[in-house]
Structure 1
């Protein structure tokens, strides 16, 4: 991995990603629309408490889209994909949960792009020279871990091979087709506890993972803002344990990974 990350360059986005990049400022609002007002208010209060207590922990995640550079807008390439991992079951925070590559900021990191790229390289072995950072999203607070996370939107026409580097940290690394997230049959709502209040958030059931929580919320918001989302059954609400059990039986739910 090299440290030459370059500046954010929205113009490096291919035409099919332009609707997202041009409207990336709308992702946080699309994210919050799925969070009940009382839960959102409690998260904001917990954020304030973390800052006052000096417990703020900065972090960044990589939201990496890959696909051909020359397909004209607004067509989404069939082979466009999004890089997702599953965290090892032994980790202290978010164990066994699907996530974007990323993690806590190191003292030597020069901003969130550096953090996201470094963490992605450490987790997946990706060649960061192939990546083009496009934009950063608004910092978001994750109460269970106390992290203030900056999602870094990036693009690569071909990111090269990726794989699990350290099984003690990462269980799965996958370039998931964007159309698998768009497919209404792969979507559901998952009931969970957030900041001691119970609510259901958007989730995606795929071959190797259930994508829910912060990552599911961000992907759902991205689909909405990019104009890729299709109508789906938001009344299909599952308990988290029930939804996780479905991962072991992908043929019994939707059309996973398609």
Structure 2
């Protein structure tokens, strides 16, 4: 496959969103009575476009994705890398509105520059008894970012090329009692992306055809 251009990458994201299918992530079927949330998976074009490298010939090397680091003071998932997002309020127009609203609150981005492409299928999360809807979006006009300092400690943009680079891919492992759970992870920008966020990114890159083969035997402990 030839290297996607920004326009081509946006078209791929739009086509995936129009399918409205759930990513193949381990979990359970969404529970209609569970708490509902939405996250914004926001792709944009890097401010400085790097030259393509032989290690990542098929990646959308000029794109990035917006991530946050949750406050260490939060009760749930403190300090973890995440997509911006949160609970869907009664006065939200749906998951898309909730994802953008939460992203604005957490990161300070200008919603006028965000083009919502559509939603993916709901994902049931057994750990938090929550149903999460990933919302795909295109950052048509990037704006300055300022973390709210309450829920979000840091906001940053990760190049897609770094996420796809096999050298940055890992498998996390966590053992509780006699059981061990393993999942995909990324070591990028001096941070470890793991858990739900890493599972979504891993499945999304696969669905888009942007992934490169990587060694799943490179195992690291969960950074708790």
Match of 2:22 among 28, 31, 35: 28
Secondary structure of residue in 1 paired with 2:100: helix
1:62: which partner in 2? 40
Alpha-carbon distance in structure 2 between the residues aligned to 1:201 and 1:77: 24
TM, length-normalised to structure 2: 0.83
Match of 2:133 among 150, 160, 166: 150
2:10: which partner in 1? 17
1:179: which partner in 2? 161
Alpha-carbon distance in structure 1 between the residues aligned to 2:151 and 2:221: 26
Number of aligned residues: 208
Q: Tell me, yes or no, if the aligned pair for 1:86 and 1:209 is still in contact at 8 Å.
A: no
**Greater share of helix residues, 1 or 2?**
1
Q: CA deviation at 1:206?
A: 1.4
Deviation per CA, 1:147-172: give whole Å up to 9, x if none: 2111100002332111212x221111
Q: Tell me, yes or no, if the aligned pair for 1:93 and 1:144 is still in contact at 8 Å.
A: no
2:210 equivalent to 1:232? no
2:203: which partner in 1? 221
| Aligned residues: CA RMSD | 2.6
Q: CA deviation at 1:110?
A: 0.8
Q: Tell me, yes or no, if the aligned pair for 2:58 and 2:210 is still in contact at 8 Å.
A: no
Q: Tell me, yes or no, if the aligned pair for 1:27 and 1:222 is still in contact at 8 Å.
A: no
Match of 1:199 among 148, 172, 181: 181
Give the 3 Å change call, closer, same or farther, for CA 57–193 of structure 1 in structure 2: farther
Q: CA deviation at 1:28?
A: 3.0
Alpha-carbon distance in structure 2 between the residues aligned to 1:187 and 1:140: 23
Structure 1: unaligned runs, 5 residues or longer: 1-12, 69-73, 245-258
Q: CA deviation at 1:14?
A: 2.5
2:52: which partner in 1? none
Q: Tell me, yes or no, if the aligned pair for 2:172 and 2:222 is still in contact at 8 Å.
A: yes
Q: Tell me, yes or no, if the aligned pair for 2:184 and 2:198 is still in contact at 8 Å.
A: yes
TM, length-normalised to structure 1: 0.73
Alpha-carbon distance in structure 1 between the residues aligned to 2:114 and 2:131: 23
2:81 equivalent to 1:87? no
